[in-house]
Structure 1
């Protein structure tokens, strides 16, 4: 009896880039839906614009280089960059700033270095920082969460604000926008208010920013899905969140009236999103297991340092970009020992 034996290699089917990116997009869905619930249609509008701009920019660059854009578009990496960028910026960001940010991310940060796999910095975070430094007012103009807003913007109202900046009749920017919980915390602490006084703000939830804590919880669910699917490993997200939690706990223990409860740092900004979806970028992060622990832990420390003493309340993007620079050096000094080398002779 003849038995058919397949030719080598006898390995399971490997994940392609498009499959991995698709899993990342699926994992982002719960958090995106939560953000849409609390901040309205503007998030989805900007996300759609960002995706279109990203695909067009990627295609234009590749055509200019004499290459077919279809493989690059099909790997969904530009779509993931666009979605992460749209999540990070205010939901009513003007369309031309979205275009400018996406051009910076795709053309300068990604394609200028050779495209997918060669960029030293996370494109979405680089674009976010570029816009934040260049247009700080527009980049901090966040909508008030739905449970606190007196007027919840409709789809058409959101679209008009994004396209031409026109507000609904009778409304002002102060009526529909507010500081983020991290901005509020930082500003009030600079005014020498105590945590008990700051907690009177309607932006404060049970332990994090009101609305933001639920958004972070849904991104956490998506991150756990990525771990379950083995798209990412635990090393970076766990080390990043653990180091952030340790720093926050230490200073909260020393002075609970001037340093927020540790969970506030995890559930009030982009810490959860950054830990599972941004810092774990396989192109710009460390690749060795020891290196990933160092990489993630240092990001967590930098996030706390910049939030507490720096000029930007939510420091995830800055911390990730700083560690993107250090990733090659970390990999160099954390390479595992090759079997059969470095041991004593018999």
Structure 2
């Protein structure tokens, strides 16, 4: 029989770009923030990054070998999870924190639900939220250069003045990967230039967050306050590197816009009205859970069909 008559399951149109190619781009794009984090916080930041990546990769390898499944560590997804988890940790965390987080991210959030492409939430953020609940004191101890104090967002929430330039350049307390907006934007540009992501989700996320802050923060059009909210916490890291995760974000174009709006509203809601100064992680996790509903409500128009209902 001619190959033209062979019947196969979808997808019928495939891209030459492999998952490993995309994950490698993400790893490279995270290098500026990682390098800055190590330079800013010192050796313990490097130790946490190495331990976190190793824990995730080894957990995935061990589970797949024990379950007699194909070993998939060469797709770099476990390495990306480990690096993102490390960048969401304070540099003062002990080495066993990323070990527990890495095992939870890969085993509980990813592998027990079927592996890459089947997890219902971002594994790195799922692990971070688990660690925040389990080890709150250690996960909120932000220290650097022999100084322990509140993050700029916490100070901002308490009504104190903050230095926006220091927040932009990274001369502040915070997690390993969230402090330098410059380093994160360099990585984000790489993701956009290579086509690994587009601006639909991060752009909608940030824009809707800005609108929410302008309306509900009580500071009106105070650009100093708005800039501090944009530069503080994990907003840039979350918007470009975690909210855009292919597995846990909508595949429909309209759904991505809706998803971005929900992210911005939830982040603003958690930051301004919640007890915590931050809210990106929980906003992304909660929005991940809504993705099936968003996709169901925003299906693309089938080829040859019109959005307008035909009259009977």
Q: Normalising by structure 1, report the TM-score.
A: 0.79
Q: How does 1:316-327 map to 2 (within 5 A)?
A: 316-327=280-291
- 1 CA distance for matches of 2:166 and 2:225? 7
Cα distance change of structure 1 residues 77 and 312 upon mapping to structure 2, 3 Å threshold: same
Cα distance change of structure 1 residues 325 and 229 upon mapping to structure 2, 3 Å threshold: same
Residue of 185, 190, 197 corresponding to 1:220: 185
Residue of 49, 55, 73 corresponding to 2:51: 49
- Say yes or no: does 1:231 pair with 2:191: no
Q: How does 1:48-87 map to 2 (within 5 A)?
A: 48-69=50-71, 72-87=72-87
Shift >6 Å, 4+ stretches: none
C-alpha distance after superposition, 1:275-316 (max 9, x if no partner): 110000000011111110110111111111101111222211
| Bigger Rg over Cα | 1
- 2 CA distance for matches of 1:125 and 1:252? 26
Q: How does 1:1-346 map to 2 (within 5 A)?
A: 14-69=16-71, 72-144=72-144, 149=145, 175-186=146-157, 188-189=158-159, 198-199=160-161, 204-206=163-165, 208=167, 211=171, 215-251=180-216, 254=219, 261-342=225-306, 344=310
- Kept after mapping to 2: 8 A contact 1:237/1:276: yes
- 2 CA distance for matches of 1:130 and 1:253? 32
- 2 CA distance for matches of 1:271 and 1:41? 25
Cα distance change of structure 1 residues 214 and 53 upon mapping to structure 2, 3 Å threshold: closer
Match of 1:155 in 2: none
> What CA RMSD, in Å, does the superposition of the two structures yield over aligned residues?
2.3
- 1 CA distance for matches of 2:95 and 2:166? 34
- 2 CA distance for matches of 1:338 and 1:211? 51
Cα distance change of structure 1 residues 256 and 230 upon mapping to structure 2, 3 Å threshold: closer
> Which range moves more in the overlay, 212-221 or 124-133?
212-221
Give unpaired runs (5+ residues) of structure 2: 1-12, 173-177
- 2 CA distance for matches of 1:265 and 1:286? 26
| Aligned partner of residue 261 in structure 1, secondary structure | helix
Q: Normalising by structure 2, report the TM-score.
A: 0.87
- Kept after mapping to 2: 8 A contact 1:207/1:264: no
> Which range moves more in the overlay, 37-46 or 287-296?
37-46
> Which range moves more in the overlay, 88-97 or 248-257?
248-257
Give unpaired runs (5+ residues) of structure 1: 1-10, 150-174, 190-197
- 2 CA distance for matches of 1:272 and 1:91? 19
Cα distance change of structure 1 residues 86 and 301 upon mapping to structure 2, 3 Å threshold: same
